Amino acid sequence: MEFSKQLGEVLQAKDVIVLEGDLGAGKTTFTKGLAKGLGVKRVVSSPTFTIIKEYQGRLPLYHMDVYRVQGSEEDLGFDEYFYGDGVTVVEWAHLIESQLPEELLKISLYHVGDTTRKIVVEPIGSRYIQLCEELL
C-alpha cells in the first residue's frame, strides 16, 4: 500500500488509473492507499453495486468498479469523471476499454501467495511515463 500512497501524493486532476486483477487481488486495497495519498479521510470501500463512489481529499477521488457494466458501448457519463477536476480510479477497466482516455496508468495486480502481490505498472502516454520515472 506504500506505493499506492506515494502515487496518490503526486497525482493531478484528470489523472486516470486503471486497475486490473482477479477477484481479491487487491484493487480496492490499492485504491485505499491511493486515497490516503490524496488526503481522503473517509473509509474507502468497493463501489461494486453503485459503480462510482466519490471521495474528497486534496483532489476529488472518483472510484469506479465497472464489473457489473453490461458492455463498453453503454454511455454512463464516464467522460465527466475522466476529464473532470479529480483523479479517477477504474477497477475492471477492460470492460469499458472503448470509453477510456488514450493516456492513463494501468496497474495490474497478481496473487503471488496468500499475502503477497505482484504489481505491474504500465504507463500509457507521456504524462504517465514521466510520472513513473519520478516514482520508480
CATH number at residue 120: 3.40.50.300
pLDDT at residue number 32: 96
Distance of CA 54 to the CA centre of its chain: 12
Expressed as residue numbers, the domain containing 92 is 2-135
Question: Higher-confidence residue: 64 or 74?
Answer: 64
Q: Is the pLDDT of residue 72 over 60?
A: no
pLDDT at residue number 123: 98
Q: Is the pLDDT of residue 134 over 70?
A: yes
pLDDT, tens digit, for every residue of 76-126?
789 999 999 999 999 999 989 989 999 999 999 998 888 888 999 999 999
List beta partners, residue 14.
Answer: none
pLDDT at residue number 70: 65
User: Helices 27-37 and 2-10, interaxial angle, to 10°?
Assistant: 50
Domain count along the chain: 1
Cell numbers for 127: 504524462
Give whole-number Cα distances, 49 to 5, 25, 68, 92, 133, in Å: 25, 18, 8, 13, 35
Residue 70's CB: how many other CB atoms inside 10 A? 8
pLDDT more than 90, % of the chain = 71
List beta partners, residue 64.
Answer: 52, 90
Q: Please state the pTM of the whole predicted model.
A: 0.92
